[in-house]
Structure 1
Amino acid sequence: MSTLQLVLKALKEKNLLKEARNISNPSLVLWDVFNKSHQCEENSLFCCIPGEKHDGHSFASDAVQRGAAVLLCQHALPLQVPQIIVENSRWAMGFAAAAVYGFPSKQVSLYGITGTNGKTTSSYMIRSILEEAGEKCGLMGTIVYADGEKEQEADRTTPESCDVQRLIARMKRNGCTSVIMEASSHGANQGRLNGCLFQGMVFTNLTPEHLDYHKDMEHYFEAKKKLFEEYVSENWCGAVNSDDEYGRRLLRIYGKKCLSFGLDSTRHHDVQLQNFYMTLSELSMKVQFFNSDPIDITLPLTGRFNIYNALGAMAICYKMGVAPLVIKKGLESMPQVPGRLEKYFFENEVCGVVDYAHTPDALENVLSALREVCHGKIISVFGHGGERYQANRPLLGQVAARLADIIIVTMDNSRSEDPAKIAEAIEQGIASVVEAPPHYRILDRNEAVRTALSMAKPGDVVVVTGKGPERFIVMDNNKIEYNDSHAIQQWALDVGLRWR
């Protein structure tokens, strides 16, 4: 809850306010902020956002009829309600919402995780550590939005800015003292993080993804760097992967605020891995914080990339004052992250794995991790999303051809593209690798998963990548109910196999 006067003040301080019209009562109380007219209630602020298909200004009258008391818009409208006129309503919305909800990110410890890979697992690790330290945590990311009382399936990694501010305010009301949030580059560029001030920021890595949007790696890096420049509180601190070249660039700028972490023994890291041992079911490692005594940690995870995720979580929590032994307990008790190396150990000694890896780098991380601990063959099942960075398709094929023993190319969210054409591009990458393993094209994803599991022998690992915990396949603008984990479980039930 806030007043119109405080919203105007907040926008003026950001140099976003062009004009205020029909302001007869500056003390007007505002309770909520929306950018969809059908959501509006009494004494709410409606933000008129121009979109690709619809212009929110066209729905202002409907919003007012439903109770909107104030409009945030880019030009004056023929309506007798207070109107806040700005140059870019989408950009201004987050700052206005923060004012309405009482600047909620200043009332909690807000942690942001940014980077191409590892954000989701890192966020779960940080939450587990902080909960071990006695904090009640909210979570906002790719899989769920957890407000301290209940969880809802995430619509996207970073919601619209008014929804972000409302969620953080709800988390605060529900008793959360910390909020962990995946901070995407799209979210920063499109203003969805406006109004947020992070106390802790983690940088995981930067590899080619979203280049259809960012155009090149330098623009992609600048979008990430912006988070460290414009979205942090005065006394913020960070944790940065110093094995990553872009991480080292961040450390050259913000090194005094950040702890470095990494695996490369030839480099100095504030949080340093000394040694590790992996099996398919767990990861044991010895870690040293500065010059303190090393601690031994055993995680219910596997994979070198999860070492990086754990080190980043350890570094930011240590920097924020959590003791090493509490960090150890928090990591060792963390739950399975849905769709992130999610494992099914069957009684026929076959293992099924579900992972969200959908870029060449992420797929290489997953397959390399499994190659280190798999005693049989790796059967890789994957596709690629339609209307996504097409140059990744042959690269995905090349990665699988180098690291898997059998490949089944299937469909992902093909959207408006022909899934057969996407598969063909992947197969071109497979064919470019000398002595590539056998591969099959089975576009029906459920059938592809069942085929892979049926051909697996004891000791083999079937890894299904690209969708993680997603519950639908998007095809021709239709959502078809489907989930990789459910497909694996249903196969096991049909053939009479139990799993753990």
Structure 2
Amino acid sequence: MEIIELLKNLKTQSIHGDLEIEINQIQFDSRKIAKNDAYVALKGTVADGHQFIKQAIQDGAKLIVCEKLPVFLESHITYIQVEDTAQALGKLAGNFYGNPSKKLKLIGVTGTNGKTTVVTILYKLFKKLGYNVGLISTIHNKIKSRIYPSTHTTPNPVELNRLLAEMVKKRCTHVFMEVSSHAIVQKRIEGLHFKGGVFTNISHDHLDYHGTFSDYIRAKKGFFDILPHTSFALVNQDDKRGLVMLQNCKAKHVTFSMKSMSDYKVRIMDSSFEGMQLQIEEKHNEKINGKETWTKLIGNFNAYNLLTVYAVAMLLEEDEDEILTELSNIKGVNGRFQRYTSSLGVHTIVDYAHTPDALENVLKTISEIKKPHQNLITVVGCGGNRDKTKRPEMAKIAANYSDWSIFTSDNPRTEKPKAIIKDMLEGVKDVDCSKYQTIILRKEAIERACSMAQKDDIILVAGKGHETYQEINGERFDFDDRVILKESLE
């Protein structure tokens, strides 16, 4: 593609050089530069890409996009100066791949909890409704039925537009993607055209990156600030920050809830370990229409998730009865309240809950459904090199809701597991010490829980969910909570 085509709708401060040069690929990692590539110099948290401009040119780059021009400009190189290279990268990538998001019904879902479940169920639902569908999620990316590995919740702009272009090529009509707070701040979604944006909830998480809770909220709101008037903004009204997301948002405002009046509302009529009977109400022209449906999923959080999916499908003008019929048959998401009962009658649940709010939601759900004779054993840890302030909170929540808790490792990364668990123990100083124990090795912790459990007891293993590894000192080792549980019990 010629540079002049690449620059469409891009605000530039200055241009130096030939605009008719053909560009092979866009790169922001100087180590990946090949002949005739464009190099976008990003200012990262660790290094400033401007330091590698000279090396990028030596490796074959023909176009340099930067915020600050080098002192000496090479005559055979084209330089584009912009105010913000992170912002420019998204628009350049969109232009390079033909702005694929304009050709798709792209729905972005953001929030602390529920993103993966919502986009995955939307993907499953719209496949059942007969569409070619794309999925961009924490677990994996999908184009129709083909799976592509996922390294980030939301990919970088070049990878994201490449994926979307492939989806257009494969004749996808709808794409459901998770939008992380990191991606919003780092402008990975810059230049994308969203048909709708969804806010699930917000609670304590990622403060190691954002610094303060206010900054975290501001990051989420940044997604809704960029939605155009032609899209919709669907937010959880029960979350007190839900309506904050709609402030100064140009998109159509739509709300959902369980506890308050809203455009879409859900009630749990009946609940057990087998599923829930839900009543979903929709406010239309001041009239409220209500319909009931059965789901195999359980828990208040899943009632919210299913209501969110229903609302998105209705906003995309799908048939109400078809939506409810298909939702009643859809199973859960791997690693999200994933259940298994052993031959000896021990019930196990594996869940990705790695925030205080998510852990409390899961434990509340189990506590409300379990019988008096059933004991609940929780195995939980906290990740290393992440927000330390949530560690004592999670331990306290586990101890409060469980008969016994085992605190263990969960991706310690470069931190000492003992130090992480020590932080967790600060939250249980006032708890009877017979209710919890610490076992550093996660496999041993799960095995201990299994040896403690009697028939009908429930074991919750929280924190890793779908993950199939433990990250220790920069290395990933094979580890799957679900496999360890089954092997230990059977």
Q: Which stretch of structure 1 is more off in the superposition, 141-150 or 183-192?
A: 141-150
Q: Does 2:88 correspond to 1:89?
A: no
Q: Report the AA paired with residue 176 of structure 1.
A: C
Question: Aligned residue for 1:381?
Answer: 379
**Alpha-carbon distance between aligned partners in 1 of 2:229 and 2:109, rounded to the nearest angstrom:** 18
Q: Say yes or no: does 1:455 pair with 2:452.
A: yes
CA distance in 2 between partners of 1:394 and 1:261 (Å) = 32
Residue 315 of structure 1: CA displacement? 1.2
The 3 A distance-change label for structure 1 pair 65 and 95 is: same
- The alpha carbon displacement at 1:91 in A equals 2.8
Residue type matched to 1:475 in 2? I
TM-score, scaled relative to structure 2: 0.92
CA contact (8 A) 1:380 1:408 kept: yes
Counterpart residue identity of residue 115, structure 1? G
Maintained 8 Å contact 1:128/1:333: no
The aligned counterpart of 1:181 is: 177
Deviation digits for residues 421-471 of structure 1 (CA, Å, limit 9, x no counterpart)? 1111212212234x5661111110111111112211111111111111122
Which of 240, 257, 277 aligns to 1:262? It is 257
Q: Which residue among 18, 24, 46 is the counterpart of 2:39?
A: 46
Where 1:10 maps in the other structure, the secondary structure is: coil
Q: Does 1:80 align with 2:76?
A: yes
Counterpart of 1:72 in 2: which secondary structure?
Answer: strand
How many residues are treated as equivalent by the alignment?
A: 482
| SS of equivalent to 1:198 | coil
Return closer, same or farther for 1:369/1:306 CA change in 2, 3 Å cut-off.
Answer: same
Name structure 1 gaps, 5 residues minimum: none
Residue type of the alignment partner of 1:168 = L
Name the aligned partner's letter for residue 263 of structure 2: D
Identity of aligned residues (%): 32
Query: Per-residue displacement from partner, 1:394-447 (whole Å, max 9, x unpaired)?
Result: 1111101110111010011112221111111212212234x5661111110111
Structure 2 residue 7 is matched with structure 1 residue 8: yes
Mapped to 1, the partners of 2:167 and 2:37 lie a distance apart of 20
Structure 1 vs Structure 2 CA RMSD: 2.3
Q: Describe the shift of the 1:372–1:54 C-alpha distance in structure 2 as closer, same or farther (beyond 3 A).
A: same
Taking the aligned partners of 1:305 and 1:5, their CA distance within structure 2 comes to 49
Relative distance call for 1:275 and 1:416 in structure 2 (3 A) is: closer
- State the partner residue of 2:15: 20
User: Per the alignment, do residues 419 and 429 of structure 1 end up closer, same or farther by CA in structure 2, a change over 3 Å counting?
Assistant: same
- Asked if 1:122 is matched to 2:121, the reply is no
Task: Please name the residue that 1:361 is paired with.
Answer: 357
What is the alpha-carbon distance in structure 2 between the residues aligned to residue 190 and residue 410 of structure 1?
Answer: 32
Match status 1:145 vs 2:141: yes
**CA deviation digits over 1:319-341, x for unaligned, max 9?**
12112112213322334312111
Alignment partners' CA distance in 2, 1:447 and 1:134: 46
In the alignment, the residues of structure 1 paired with residue 362 and residue 304 of structure 2 have an alpha-carbon distance, to the nearest angstrom, of 13
Q: 1:133 to 1:254 in 2, by over 3 A?
A: farther
Against the structure 1 CA distance between its residues 147 and 85, is the aligned structure 2 distance closer, same or farther, given a 3 Å change threshold?
Answer: farther
Residues 280 and 64 from structure 1, CA distance in 2 versus in 1: closer, same or farther, beyond 3 angstroms?
Answer: farther
> Which letter does structure 2 place at the counterpart of 1:160?
N
Given the alignment of the two structures, is residue 314 of structure 1 paired with residue 307 of structure 2, yes or no?
Answer: no
- TM-score normalized with structure 1 length: 0.90
1-side partners of 2:126 and 2:251: how far apart?
A: 24
SS for the counterpart of 2:418 is: helix
8 A contact 2:225–2:249 mirrored in 1:
no
2:389 to 369, 376, 391: 391
Unaligned runs of 5+ in 2: none
Distance 2:290 2:209 in 1: 42
The AA in structure 2 aligned to 1:86 is: V
